[in-house]
């Protein structure tokens, strides 16, 4: 996921075969989107900035996500 938020006006979401589904939990403020067919989690609407999104970089056309620097967060050890 991006560590920055993206405005809806800066995104273009293409949904094929009605495969996009929404999941909400806890406060039900943030919206997490996933593909009903393959289960990938492409983006979510943030709880802190409800009108903005964080994006799974691996889902962006033309971006080699493996070539980007990254941090690994071990949630089990937090």
pLDDT of residue 75: 79
pTM for the whole structure? 0.75
- Contacts of 31-36 with C-beta under 8 Å, sequence gap 24+, read none
Q: Would you kindly state where each structural domain of the chain is located, as residue ranges?
A: 8-62
pLDDT of residue 76: 84
pLDDT of residue 71: 78
Each residue's pLDDT tens digit, 32-61: 999 999 999 999 998 888 889 999 998 888
Taking the C-alpha atoms of residue 67 and residue 15, their distance in angstroms, rounded to an integer, is: 26
Tell which wins on pLDDT, 25 or 73: 25
Q: Confidence band (pLDDT; 50, 70, 90) for 72?
A: confident
CATH 3.40.50.2300 fits 8-62, yes or no: no
pLDDT of residue 41: 92
Give which of 22, 40, 38 is closest to 30, Cα–Cα. 22
């Amino acid at each position: 996921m991006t560590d920055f938020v993206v405005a809806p006006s800066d995104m273009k979401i293409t949904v094929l075969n009605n495969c996009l589904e929404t999941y909400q939990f806890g406060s039900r403020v943030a919206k997490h989107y996933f593909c009903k067919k393959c289960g990938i989690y492409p983006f979510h609407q943030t709880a802190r900035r409800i009108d903005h999104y964080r994006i799974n970089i691996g889902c962006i056309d033309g971006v080699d996500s493996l070539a980007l620097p990254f941090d690994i967060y071990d949630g089990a050890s937090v």
